[in-house]
Amino acid sequence: MNIRRPVESQLGLFGTASHQTWSYSRLKSLRRCALEYKVRWVEGQEALFQPGYIQVQAGRLLHQIVREYYRTPLAGRSHQFLVETYERLAPRSPTWREDLQGETRTLTDLRFFAHSKASRFQPVALEVTCESHVAGAVFGGKADLIYQSDEHPGTYGVLDFKLNDAEVRVEHYVERFLQCAIYYLGLPDQYRQMCGLLSIYVFDTGQLLETRVEPSLVQGVVGIVEAALQRADGPEFPPTLNPFCSSCGYQTLCPAYSKRQWRKVGAGA
């Protein structure tokens, strides 16, 4: 039975002890498909759910370049610096250079970033370790960036980078900012006390999404995590068709998957 806690008491949840350690990826897997969660996290068959080489490399490279960008005073040469850093750090393999989703995609994403509002954020700290206690589970991870807001003087924000917009194409803002909010709840005190904004930057589109930290957001995060954790111990782990099924390495064994069924799900996503 779910007991709804009053909004004013929500923050008290994040200091409780727990033996269970979670990553956001693990929570995302559980919410997306219980069978995926079982195979990936309970049975340990992680390799079945890894994205392709080019996508992994692009994500890692973009994060690395952006970290260098925020560490370096630029004086108005943002795009030039990003391209120079790409040339220094990019993979040298022919597969990367020839694949449209390798070099061409990454350089396009860097051009988007150079002209984005996110490129003008004033960095406070990079890769900040967070430990959030939510509904009896501990979430560990690193916030990509803590930044100073020019539009809201004296206010910090948490910025999370995503390679594509698949995760943020949801209607409800709490789901959209779930990862960012979990990191916010686990920030060290010196950052959290001044933090009032959550932001997501999507590399492939150049889109920046922003929201304020409100009590309703905190309550929504707790509700989502509580609902997900109820499925974590089974005994049933039912499959759920979703837009990520086409890249799942378990699809030939999945009792719910068929290309015809998935096309209907993918078309509606």
Q: What is the pTM of this model?
A: 0.85
The pLDDT score that the predictor gives to residue 263 is 58
Torsion, CA 86, CA 210, CA 76, CA 106, rounded to 10: 20
pLDDT one-digit tens code per residue, 135-148: 889 999 999 999 99
- pLDDT higher than 50, residue 11: no
Domains contained in the chain, CATH given:
33-44+240-269 (no CATH), 53-115 (no CATH), 120-229 (3.40.1350)
- pLDDT higher than 70, residue 265: no
Place of tokens 């850093």: 85
Instruction: Provide the pLDDT confidence category of residue 266 given band limits of 50, 70 and 90.
Output: low
| E strand spans, 76-136 | 122-134
What does the alpha-carbon distance between residue 137 and residue 16 come to, in Å, rounded to a whole number? 9
pLDDT one-digit tens code per residue, 48-106: 887 777 888 999 999 999 999 999 987 678 899 999 999 999 998 888 888 777 899 99
Torsion, CA 154, CA 158, CA 163, CA 166, rounded to 10: -110
Place of tokens 């806690």: 5
